[in-house]
Amino acid sequence: MFTPKYPTPDTASPPAVTIQDSGAAVPVVQTSAPVAPVSNRPTVQLTAGSTLALVGGGTAVVLVVGAVLVSLLLAVAITGMSVAVVAVVLRSILNQERNR
């Protein structure tokens, strides 16, 4: 799974070159350019339905994450308020004990 997959080497033959000793022009014969290999990876085709499903799924994820974050923030706020109330009550109890 994590091993690299190397592409197959080109199998096109190199262009043929003909050299003559007569001093005449040197004819060069070239073969056609190699064709790029076809990819084996599947392509993703988005239709209207799949696009709508992706948008709906993304919206649902954003709403769920937002609800979780808001609930965590609310839990922290409620905890902070309760700790503040407990601190005020304890302070008033301790002040009453000192005044007696």
What pLDDT is stored for residue 64 in this prediction? Answer: 97
What pLDDT is stored for residue 80 in this prediction? Answer: 97
pTM of the model: 0.47
What pLDDT is stored for residue 55 in this prediction? Answer: 95
What pLDDT is stored for residue 85 in this prediction? Answer: 97
Show the CA angle centred on residue 26, arms to residues 22 and 30, nearest 5°.
145
Has residue 76 been placed in a domain? yes
What pLDDT is stored for residue 5 in this prediction? Answer: 80
State the residue range of the domain holding 89: 67-100
Has residue 93 been placed in a domain? yes
Has residue 49 been placed in a domain? no
Has residue 84 been placed in a domain? yes
- Half-sphere CA count of 61, side-chain side, radius 13 A: 6
Has residue 17 been placed in a domain? no
What pLDDT is stored for residue 8 in this prediction? Answer: 77
* Beta-carbon contacts of residue 46 (< 8 Å; ≥ 6 apart): 54
Has residue 74 been placed in a domain? yes
Domains held by the chain: number? 1
What pLDDT is stored for residue 2 in this prediction? Answer: 81
What pLDDT is stored for residue 79 in this prediction? Answer: 98
Q: Which residues of the chain have pLDDT under 70?
A: 12, 14-15, 17-33
